[in-house]
Amino acid sequence: MARIVQKYGGTSVGDVDRIKNVAARIKAFRDEGNQLVVVVSARSGVTNELIARAKAIHPNPPEREMDQLLSIGEQETIALTAMALEAIGVEAVSYTGAQAGIFTDKAHTKAKIKTIDARPLEKDLSAGKVIIVAGFQGINDDGHITTLGRGGSDLTAIALAAAIKADKCEIYTDVDGVYTADPRVVKNARKLDEISYDEMLELASAGSKVMQSRSVEFAAKYDVVFEVRSSFNNNPGTIVKQE
């Protein structure tokens, strides 16, 4: 039995069928007896749509209200993913960032995680439930919802893996792993079996980003080894770790 944190990005939970596909994948890991904490993003496009709507109402919307708004994208997918699991006989419970004990500073729209109180989560894990956590969001000391910057669900997953001392952290996305360049742009880009945190940050600063840079920095700081892989097949992905 292993303790696994998985993260499924926006395309992977992009519609009802994909959410069902993710639930089936999670069930397979659960059936092997693993403990699972699963972070999900908003459906792809939802966060951008919400931003566009806000800007159509206010040219420079208050950041607190932006966070209040943007957090709903992930709140939809956690509930639907938990329901998809229950529908196939897997006990699951959804958690917002606040419910998962993710405490941040007060920097709305780009908050930093300060601490994670994993006690509620640990309790449900021990009870055998699969826990579905909303990526990209936390709560500050005043009780206001914050968000962690675009792509922030990656950070939620890495930080939770560190907090609960996961044996494995898997970042599921819509490509097979980390490539030498963006495979959608560079046709002969090559998939890497392994890459260091520094090399991954270099790729990002050269414009080729598969994960939020802050999440990679966080992983480097807390030595969280993770694998980037596809939610659409079973190909091995890319292991990211210290050199």
Interface residues with ligand ASP (CB under 6 A)? 9-10, 41-42, 47, 73, 135-136, 150-154
User: Which of ligand ASP, Mg ion, ligand ADP, none lies near 226, with the C-beta cut-off 5 to 8 A by kind?
Assistant: none
Phi and psi (nearest 5°) for 82? -60, -40
The length of the chain is 243
The correct pick among 29, 95, 136, 179 for binding ligand ADP (CB under 6 A) is: 179
Q: Is 208 in the site for ligand ADP (CB under 6 A)?
A: yes
| Out of 151, 152, 183, 237, the residue judged to bind Mg ion by CB under 5 A | 151
Kind and range of the H or E run holding 227: strand 226-230
Q: How near is the Cβ of 76 to ligand ASP at its closest, in Å? A: 11
Told to check if 182 binds ligand ADP by CB under 6 A, we report yes
- The Cα 47–Cα 45 span in angstroms is 6
Residue 136 touches which member of Mg ion, ligand ASP, ligand ADP, none, C-beta under 5-8 Å by kind: ligand ASP
State the binding partner of 135 from ligand ASP, ligand ADP, Mg ion, none, CB within 5 to 8 A by kind: ligand ASP
**Is the Cα dihedral 205, 211, 212, 217 positive or negative?**
negative
Question: What is the strand order of the sheet 137-139 is part of?
Answer: 113-116, 102-104, 137-139, 145-147
Residue 132 CA from chain centroid, whole number? 10
Q: At what angle do helices 197-205 and 213-222 cross, to 10 degrees?
A: 160
Say whether residue 173 binds ligand ADP (CB under 6 A).
yes
